[in-house]
Amino acid sequence: MKGRVLLLSVLVWHLGVQSGTATPDGFREASAITCPQACSISLRSTDRLPEASGAVRVERKGGTTEVDVEVDSMKPASLFGGDYNTYMVWVVPPGGPADNLGELNLEGDHATLHGTTPASSFAVLVTAEPHFLVTTPSTFLILANQSRQRAPEFQYPVLQGVYNFERSTLEDSREAKGRVHTELRQAFTAVRLAQRANAPSLASNEFTNAERALDQTLRLWHQSGDPSEIAAQARQTVRLAVAAQRLAMDRRLQGSRVGAEGSGGGNNEIRSLDPRGR
């Protein structure tokens, strides 16, 4: 417990954190990229981080599309404060769910990412997120592909009013001082989000496993252990915390259904989620 308190004082700069009002999932507009063979598209920045820039190269090979993303003039996502810690790249096909393509690991203000998708037409987005295992883009859109002439426009769902933040834009924000412990922040936030979902009550065993994993992450960090080992343990903490959060949400939904339908509403058993989210 002391370790968690110490880490919290190191990772959080301000005590007061504002939160958007929780609302149903909203929608945002995007423009699809369609390249029969290969093309390069610029990424346009938003008011979240106006100085950011980037490009995406798309190449269709058989039934797979290779996507290479490069971004510049970035600032650590943790500067948004609250629950935001990292940047994720999304591939969003028209009418389909957003696909988490991967995490952008900044080296200074630069990052690259290579990924693949079976989709042949899609938008490419970069958003700020709490951790690498998110499944729906947040409203903190940082970069999106430029619209092309006659490119189809479509809407995609976003998760809004859920994550806490201290500032909505990094325009004119100060630079981060020292190393940003992104993996530790993600682990800490994932456990916090599971706690908000009432996982200590609705998924107690799974939440206890996540807490123990976080404690182990903190022990490694305090011992100045191998950075790769700390990162691996932190990512395992995120997996366990997300599993606890999902199970808690499933059980809360199941409880609501039983309350609405009566005790004869069917089988109330819910299987435990695999820590990897499968």
- Residues 27-54 have pLDDT tens digits of 999 999 988 889 999 999 999 999 999 9
Domain ranges of the chain: 25-164, 181-260
Compute the mean pLDDT over every residue in the chain, rounded to the nearest whole number.
85
User: What is the pLDDT confidence band of residue 4, given thresholds at 50, 70 and 90?
Assistant: low
In the prediction, which pLDDT does 175 show? Answer: 67
- Name, of 19-23, 33-37, 131-135, the range with top average pLDDT: 131-135
DSSP code per residue over the chain:
-HHHHHHHHHH-S-S--EEPPP-S-EEEEEE-EE-SSEEEEEEEE-TTSTT-EEEEEEEEETTEEEEEEEEES---GGGG-TT--EEEEEEE-TTS--EEEEEE--BTTBEEEEEEES-SEEEEEEEEESSTT-SS-BS-EEEEEPP-TTPPEEEEEEB-S-SEES-S--TTPPPPPS---HHHHHHHHHHHHHHHTTHHHHSHHHHHHHHHHHHHHHHHHHTT--HHHHHHHHHHHHHHHHHHHHHHHHHHHHHHHHHHH-TTSS----PPPPTT--
- Residues 93-105 have pLDDT tens digits of 998 899 999 999 9
Residues in the chain: 278
Both structure tokens of 91? 């591939």
From CA 274, how far away is CA 159, in angstroms rounded?
Answer: 23
Both structure tokens of 25? 């999932």
123, pLDDT greater than 50: yes
- Residues 225-265 have pLDDT tens digits of 899 999 999 999 999 999 999 999 999 998 877 666 654 43
Query: Residue holding tokens 């190269």?
Result: 57
In the prediction, which pLDDT does 176 show? Answer: 59
108, pLDDT greater than 50: yes
User: What is the pLDDT confidence band of residue 7, given thresholds at 50, 70 and 90?
Assistant: very low
23, pLDDT greater than 50: no
User: What is the pLDDT confidence band of residue 196, given thresholds at 50, 70 and 90?
Assistant: very high
- Residues 151-187 have pLDDT tens digits of 889 999 999 999 999 999 999 887 655 555 799 999 9
pTM for the full predicted model: 0.83
92, pLDDT greater than 80: yes
CA 147 to chain centre: 24
Fold adopted by 25-164? Immunoglobulin-like (2.60.40)
User: What is the pLDDT confidence band of residue 147, given thresholds at 50, 70 and 90?
Assistant: confident
